[in-house]
Amino acid sequence: MMINKVEICGVNTSKLPVLNEKEMKELLQALKNGDKESREKFIRGNLRLVLSVIQRFNNRGENVDDLFQVGCIGLIKAIDNFDLSQNVKFSTYAVPMIIGEIRRYLRDNNSIRVSRSLRDIAYRALQVRDALINKNNKEPTISQIAEELQIPREDVVFALDAIQDPVSLFEPIYHDGGDAIFVMDQISDGKTGDENWIESLSINEAMKKLNKREKLILNLRFFNGRTQMEVADEIGISQAQVSRLEKSALKHMRKYV
């Protein structure tokens, strides 16, 4: 397990320092003024942050040392771009940067090959998305991203879908303390029969317990085959909100199915 590995890239993780808030601010101010020693201390003092992030990826079979090095690149980028004038904790700013760097690495090294043109569009779309979030402080729609790139909306959707991480058939999708339910448990080619009919009735009854927005999201996602980004664009909210509402609705439905 990754979390049990003490030495990563020659670094004894059990002996990494922890900086308090005052030390963080002082070192940040000093390194922004060009103090190289403060920069080294600040990087080392935040390596635990990188460790906490790479633990999220410990089920992918990736080399821990590689992920740690990539995470450190994200940490350094966060340090170089962090704005001291903003009232934001460094960790709040750095974690998405580290995650983004690791995800880019995983996409580039994915065994499922995606054409270079699609990958280029996807990366440009993600860059535009980040720029629009920084500019407007909210998640942009697919249409806004496509408009910035001056390409059809469908091309953006296809490109972003193409770089999504594949899902294992053995990935758990629900766990209530007993036996886990895996993706493969939900795959079936039976479209008729009493069991399917009863299940359909049960789902319809559970859907009645949802509010109007939750019903719309689940209908678009699971009956019309839309992606979360497409649903977000259609109903005018962020992809993160769609994901949150979808999970809440599914959790609510499980009480009745």
Domain that holds residue 103: 1-109
Same structural domain for residues 91 and 185? Answer: no
pLDDT of residue 147: 92
Q: pLDDT value at position 165?
A: 57
**117 and 104 within one domain:** no
Amino acid at residue number 207 = M
How far is it, in rounded angstroms, from Cα 145 to Cα 242?
18
Locate all alpha helices (DSSP H) within the chain, ordered by sequence.
21-32, 36-45, 47-54, 64-81, 90-108, 116-136, 142-149, 153-162, 194-207, 212-218, 228-235, 239-253
**11 and 44: one domain?**
yes
Q: Residue 150: its pLDDT value, please?
A: 92
Beta-carbon-side half-sphere exposure of residue 10 (alpha carbons within 13 Å): 1
The mean-pLDDT minimum among 119-123, 193-197, 203-207 falls in 193-197
Structure tokens at 47: 């390596």
Asked if residue 117 and residue 68 are part of one domain, the reply reads: no
125-165 pLDDT, tens digit per residue, is: 889 988 888 888 888 888 899 999 999 888 888 788 776 65
**Same domain flag for 132 and 96:** no
244 pLDDT higher than 50: yes
* The pLDDT of residue 197: 41
Same-domain status, 129 and 221? no
Task: Read off the CATH number of the domain in which 156 is found.
Answer: 1.10.10.10
Which residues 6+ apart lie within 8 Å of 232 measured at CB? 139, 141, 142, 238, 239, 241, 242
How many domains, in total, are found in the chain? Answer: 3
Q: Is the pLDDT of residue 180 over 60?
A: no
Whether residues 135 and 193 fall in one domain: no
What digits encode the pLDDT tens for the residues 13-63?
A: 777 888 888 888 888 889 888 888 988 999 988 888 888 888 877 766 677
Instruction: Indicate if 196 and 162 belong to the same structural domain.
Output: no
Residue 145, SS3 per DSSP: helix
> Same domain, yes or no, for 66 and 143?
no
Q: What is the CATH number of the domain that holds 38?
A: 1.20.120.1810
Are both 104 and 7 inside the same structural domain?
yes
Q: Are residues 123 and 214 in the same domain?
A: no
Summarize pLDDT for 93-107 with one digit per residue, the tens.
Answer: 888 888 888 888 877
Please indicate whether residue 7 or residue 82 has the higher confidence score (pLDDT): 82
d(CA 101, CA 231): 26
Amino acid occupying residue 95: V
Q: Are residues 95 and 130 in the same domain?
A: no
